[in-house]
Structure 1
Amino acid sequence: MIQRFVDDVLAVTKESVKTFTYESLNNVVRLINGLSALLLTLLPGRGSVLEGVHGWELRPTFRGPRFPRWMENGVSSFNQFIHELSVDSDDSSLDYSSGEEDGIGNEYPATPSSQSSRGSRSSPGSPWPSIKRVHSHKEHVVHSTTDRRRGVIEDLHLASEIFIESAFEMVHKAAHFILSPLETIRTLFRWLWSWSSCERDHNADVIVPTATLGDDDPVPSERTYTFHQSLNTDARTCQDVITELGYPYEAIRVVTNDGYVLLLERIPRRDARKVLYLQHGIFDSSMGWVSNGVVGSPAFAAFDQGYDVYLGNFRGLVSREHVDKNISSRQYWKYSINEHAMEDIPAMIEKIHEVKTSELKLSQPELAEETDSDQPFKLCALCHSMGGAAMLMYVITRRIEEKPHRLSRLVLLSPAGFHDDAPFIFTVIENLLLLLSPLLAPFVPGLYIPTRFFRMLLNKLARDFHHYPAVGGLVQTVVSYFLGGDSSNWVGVLGIPHYNMNDMPGVSFRVGLHLAQMKHAKKFRMFDYGNASLNMEAYGSPEPLDLGEYFGLFDIPVDLVAGRKDQVIRPTMVKRYYKMMKDAGVDVSFNEFEYAHLDFTFSHREELLAYVMSRLLLVGESGSKPKLKLKPSQKVPKLRRNDKLDG
């Protein structure tokens, strides 16, 4: 009777403490969310603009927080949650999303591994996969398949549940032992007896039957769940996203001439003679090209149209992948856009050429007899932002060096390079970088989050911004103000899995300085080492190479795409590319869309995908390449690899 009474009292007390703790935490969250909503309301004219961001509920609201996953319908099912977590911890389909998101998560497009999915994604007469299934719900810029994390608030809920359960379990056992002394003595005796039996068994020779697994037999593995996994951010890779959606995948390790190890990822069509190479921009990776799922990502769309797709990754990860395992942080981050253009891109494109040529000659022996051409495929490139600037620099420098660039067409989405028409904050940053670069360069070699804890915190906060729209809207608004009013989903981009605790793309100080130099000079030019002798050694002139003067060397078509809402690289800057190339006789086109800067990669835009495909389909049979032609006043510059320079 007493034992039952104590159990009832402990059970009621435990639930009361859990409810009080949970409601206290919710009140704090409501306060933060409410203050954020108030601040967002006070900001003039921002709410209506930000509501246009896909997948975000940015209208100011004082709505309370959502229940965590184990408190559906307001009732704690913590024990069931822990049980499911321990059983399904290593299941690749584990979903940490809240109940309100489950309705959306169930509407993922079918994978290409099924016959019905191919029928649902494309329609007769359409050059691009259909996206009708996506419009049945609110669009999500960052596809739900790439967001599995739990936020900081959810972790606090979980931690409080674990602590309260553990504390009351200890109290319950202590009370049981005190109120049942005979049972306590019997339990102690059984424990001592089992301990002595274990000692005897340990000293005896015990024969344990074993079995040998064949080479082809699957090796059994015990499912485990660690504290690290329970608090893990979504650390999936581009490979995980591609394979989960049913597409083939291949990873190719590429080493540059200066020792950087790059990951060239592939969605292979080995017999295809159409190849598309995609190159990301600053603070990004190959994940950007697949983050919108099957029907909204350029990489999947190109593969569905018969292309062999390669996803390039620039140098610049927190993990510092290099042949020199002991390379210092200062030495690793010592690169500019020059190295992206003259080391990274050449290494990856030459690897593509090597792989494709070998595969096609094996699968199609008749190609071995075509001695007039050493490239039995057409290679096009789709680049965004800084990736576009690096690709332009790559083509020009390869033409100057009279080396093949292997490309048949360029499609550049909001390419960097010209930046003098930019928001005021960019001018401030430009002046600070140019003024303080001698002092900052030795101490700040790169811009990235150096510790696992803060990377995890950033990743989890991105999840909280999804759960609490007023907080997310406020952060989105502040970032938008900082970037001159650009309405891209800047907060949503943090939901991409490459921003995780294990690794994260960064940017070197020299890349930022290089962009500042371009903005200050109002020219698209190579890196200025700040010393006439070093520039002379690198370029054969005391000034960096002005790449705009060499646009006449382009021997392939170039398609430029600008965003009318893009405040990072404004349409006027892309139009400058167009005018200079047109004047230089380049086969160039220009188009504009109602996009902000990140909409080119992180938003599902059917019209953009259709336009890109229409440009790629213009690639025909390769003709003879024009020889190097310079103006009479120009001389052929000499180019040296900048890793040999000490400036």
Structure 2
Amino acid sequence: MDQQKLRVYLFRIFSFLKWILIPFGICLVISHKIEQTDIPPQATFTFEEHCKFYNYSFEKYTVTTDDDYILSLYRIPGKNPGPPVLLIHGLSNSANCFIVNQCAHPPAFILADQNFDIWLGNCRGSHLSRGHKYWNATIDEQYWDWSFPDIALYDLPAFVSFVKNHTGHEKIGMVGHSQGAAAILWMLGYYPHMKDDLAVGVLIGTSGSIFTSESPYIQFLSSSWLHFLCEVIGINVISDWSDDLFLTKFIQAFPEIAILIAHDLYDIKLNSGLPEHLGTYYHRMRGGTSIKNLKFWRQAVNNQSKNPKLYDYGPEENIKKYGSSNPPSINFMDIETPLAVINGKYDLAVPQKDSLVLKESIKKEKLVFYHDEYPHDHGGLMFSCNMTYFYQDVTQLLKKYLSQ
């Protein structure tokens, strides 16, 4: 082979290889940058470590539900604990959501400072509540055969009963965010007699039965094609927690990308937050939820009625499960417990029109407080750098009804 042909041959080889080597080199550079990125210590704290870092006491308990799920229940008693308040987290989150705010005093600590005895439930499916009497969440698919109504009708009553028995208080207060607030609402609608257990329920960032979320992320989670794909692949849990820090470091290294991704649930500019906080929120907030739970919320989107329904298994299975071809419905007008509804003006996950439907679904004399104009979005109700707007209202509500 003469030199001219050899040069042509080598040129073609290098021309071909550059399309492989250049992207590969770029990936190596980016990967190295990510791996070398530092993250704040709070990003990897456990719940207990976080409390101790900020000088708050911590206690941990386990609660077993009537359907055999074993859940963790945390306590921050405060320095002079008074009446108990139970906090319930949202979809695929954990109790971490109430303590992890990086730019303001977080909700659980605000309430502890007001001398409330703070309890925080970790609902089934959260990585902090994966216990069961008979099933292993890692290997037994049966463990994941639950949805939102099971949280509302089993987990929350078990938490309430435990807190009452442990503290000796006749009534407690409850505060929920997002799905956690909806669970309080559903529990009280299904069990009106629990007015004897709850002094007041504070519902933050939630809708009732009409569910028309404008959040692309929530729409993605509730999409039928995602559920179908997960079932084909054999995935039972989504948005699960992981101890791998690569994505957390990625968010820390490329905050502008993270800002765009988080925008529909947590607008940095709106909430006066800092981009470097997003890595901590991402790692600490993931908790995991079942695919069946997401399928339920798809049903909720399709159910355009003020009276929400339990999980719909189809006519034949409904008869076996409920004794009727249609699942039972819940009437919020049956609720006898005082309720407060607190929603954000810029919340895409819970648009104001959904909030207004909830307002009309509760007896006027039981809806003791309603405000849907707080200057926050969905995540801002937990992570805004100014929590003063509504936690003064929350504190006053709890003090008023827990003192009666």
Asked if 1:599 corresponds to 2:380, the answer is yes
The counterpart of 1:586, out of the listed 354, 359, 366, is 366
Identity in percent: 21
Give me the whole-angstrom Cα distance separating, in 2, the residues matched to 1:484 and 1:589.
26
Q: How does 1:600-619 map to 2 (within 5 A)?
A: 600-604=381-385, 605-619=387-401
Q: Report the residue type matching 2:146 in the other structure.
A: Y
Consecutive unaligned residues of structure 1, counting only runs of 5 or more, are 1-26, 33-150, 159-229, 358-375, 465-470, 623-647
Give me the whole-angstrom Cα distance separating, in 2, the residues matched to 1:157 and 1:576.
46
The counterpart of 1:387, out of the listed 154, 161, 180, is 180
Give the corresponding residue for 1:348.
Answer: 159
Give the corresponding residue for 1:323.
Answer: 133
Give the corresponding residue for 1:535.
Answer: 318
Give the corresponding residue for 1:474.
Answer: 257
Give me the whole-angstrom Cα distance separating, in 2, the residues matched to 1:497 and 1:551.
34
TM-score, normalising length: structure 1: 0.51
Please list the CA deviations of residues 3-44 of structure 1 after superposition, one character each: whole Å capped at 9, or x if unmatched.
xxxxxxxxxxxxxxxxxxxxxxxx979x97xxxxxxxxxxxx
What displacement does 1:392 show?
0.8
Q: Report the residue type matching 2:281 in the other structure.
A: I
What displacement does 1:436 show?
7.3
Give the corresponding residue for 2:238.
Answer: 447
Please list the CA deviations of residues 529-575 of structure 1 after superposition, one character each: whole Å capped at 9, or x if unmatched.
3322332344443222332xx22222221111111111111121111
Give the corresponding residue for 2:17.
Answer: none
The counterpart of 1:337, out of the listed 135, 140, 148, is 148
Asked if 1:311 corresponds to 2:120, the answer is yes
Give the corresponding residue for 1:496.
Answer: 281
Q: How does 1:400-411 map to 2 (within 5 A)?
A: 402=193, 406-411=197-202
Return closer, same or farther for 1:494/1:256 CA change in 2, 3 Å cut-off: farther
Q: Report the residue type matching 2:125 in the other structure.
A: G
Q: How does 1:36-47 map to 2 (within 5 A)?
A: none
Please list the CA deviations of residues 449-468 of structure 1 after superposition, one character each: whole Å capped at 9, or x if unmatched.
5865xx3212222332xxxx
Return closer, same or farther for 1:398/1:543 CA change in 2, 3 Å cut-off: same
Give the corresponding residue for 1:153.
Answer: 33
Q: What is the Cα-based RMSD across aligned positions, in Å?
A: 3.7
Q: Report the residue type matching 2:317 in the other structure.
A: L
The counterpart of 1:412, out of the listed 184, 188, 203, is 203
Return closer, same or farther for 1:427/1:497 CA change in 2, 3 Å cut-off: closer
Give the corresponding residue for 1:55.
Answer: none
What displacement does 1:380 show?
0.8
Q: Report the residue type matching 2:333 in the other structure.
A: G
Please list the CA deviations of residues 227-249 of structure 1 after superposition, one character each: whole Å capped at 9, or x if unmatched.
xxx9x994321111112211211
Consecutive unaligned residues of structure 2, counting only runs of 5 or more, are 1-24
Q: Report the residue type matching 1:389 in the other structure.
A: A
Structure having greater relative contact order (Cα 8 Å, sep ≥ 6): 2
Q: Report the residue type matching 1:346 in the other structure.
A: P
Q: Is the Cα–Cα contact under 8 Å of residues 288 and 601 in structure 1 kept in the other structure?
A: yes
Give me the whole-angstrom Cα distance separating, in 1, the residues matched to 2:339 and 2:162.
23
Aligned length: 371
Give me the whole-angstrom Cα distance separating, in 1, the residues matched to 2:311 and 2:43.
39
Q: Report the residue type matching 1:242 in the other structure.
A: C
Q: Is the Cα–Cα contact under 8 Å of residues 418 and 518 in structure 1 kept in the other structure?
A: yes
Give the corresponding residue for 2:9.
Answer: none
Q: How does 1:152-551 map to 2 (within 5 A)?
A: 153=33, 155-156=35-36, 234-268=43-77, 272-292=81-101, 296-318=105-127, 320-324=130-134, 326-327=136-137, 328-357=139-168, 376-399=169-192, 402=193, 406-423=197-214, 425=216, 429=220, 432-433=223-224, 437=227, 440-441=230-231, 443-449=234-240, 452=243, 455-464=244-253, 471-480=254-263, 492-496=277-281, 499=284, 504-523=286-305, 525-547=308-330, 550-551=331-332
Give me the whole-angstrom Cα distance separating, in 2, the residues matched to 1:427 and 1:477.
15
Q: Is the Cα–Cα contact under 8 Å of residues 275 and 377 in structure 1 kept in the other structure?
A: no
Give me the whole-angstrom Cα distance separating, in 2, the residues matched to 1:427 and 1:294.
25
Q: Report the residue type matching 2:33 in the other structure.
A: I
Q: Report the residue type matching 1:248 in the other structure.
A: S
Q: Is the Cα–Cα contact under 8 Å of residues 462 and 495 in structure 1 kept in the other structure?
A: no
What displacement does 1:305 show?
1.3
Please list the CA deviations of residues 359-418 of structure 1 after superposition, one character each: whole Å capped at 9, or x if unmatched.
xxxxxxxxxxxxxxxxx444111110000111111112222xx56661110111111444
What displacement does 1:257 show?
2.4
Return closer, same or farther for 1:311/1:426 CA change in 2, 3 Å cut-off: closer
Q: Report the residue type matching 2:396 in the other structure.
A: S
TM-score, normalising length: structure 2: 0.79
Return closer, same or farther for 1:420/1:294 CA change in 2, 3 Å cut-off: closer
Give the corresponding residue for 1:77.
Answer: none
Return closer, same or farther for 1:350/1:421 CA change in 2, 3 Å cut-off: same
Q: Report the residue type matching 2:239 in the other structure.
A: Y
Q: Report the residue type matching 2:124 in the other structure.
A: R
What displacement does 1:579 show?
1.4
Q: Is the Cα–Cα contact under 8 Å of residues 336 and 514 in structure 1 kept in the other structure?
A: yes
Q: Report the residue type matching 2:366 in the other structure.
A: V
Give me the whole-angstrom Cα distance separating, in 1, the residues matched to 2:323 and 2:165.
32
Q: Report the residue type matching 1:384 in the other structure.
A: H
Q: Is the Cα–Cα contact under 8 Å of residues 266 and 378 in structure 2 kept in the other structure?
A: no
Q: Is the Cα–Cα contact under 8 Å of residues 479 and 490 in structure 1 kept in the other structure?
A: no
Q: Is the Cα–Cα contact under 8 Å of residues 561 and 590 in structure 1 kept in the other structure?
A: yes
What displacement does 1:420 show?
4.2
**Of Structure 1 and Structure 2, which has the larger fraction of its residues in strand?**
2
Return closer, same or farther for 1:318/1:287 CA change in 2, 3 Å cut-off: closer
Q: Is the Cα–Cα contact under 8 Å of residues 527 and 544 in structure 1 kept in the other structure?
A: yes
Q: Is the Cα–Cα contact under 8 Å of residues 56 and 78 in structure 2 kept in the other structure?
A: no
Give me the whole-angstrom Cα distance separating, in 2, the residues matched to 1:350 and 1:425.
37
Q: Is the Cα–Cα contact under 8 Å of residues 174 and 198 in structure 2 kept in the other structure?
A: yes
Q: Report the residue type matching 2:198 in the other structure.
A: L
What displacement does 1:603 show?
1.8
Give me the whole-angstrom Cα distance separating, in 1, the residues matched to 2:180 and 2:269.
19
Q: Is the Cα–Cα contact under 8 Å of residues 278 and 311 in structure 1 kept in the other structure?
A: yes
Q: Is the Cα–Cα contact under 8 Å of residues 277 and 311 in structure 1 kept in the other structure?
A: yes
The secondary structure found in structure 2 opposite 1:514 is helix
Q: Is the Cα–Cα contact under 8 Å of residues 34 and 246 in structure 2 kept in the other structure?
A: no
What displacement does 1:425 show?
4.4
The secondary structure found in structure 2 opposite 1:495 is helix
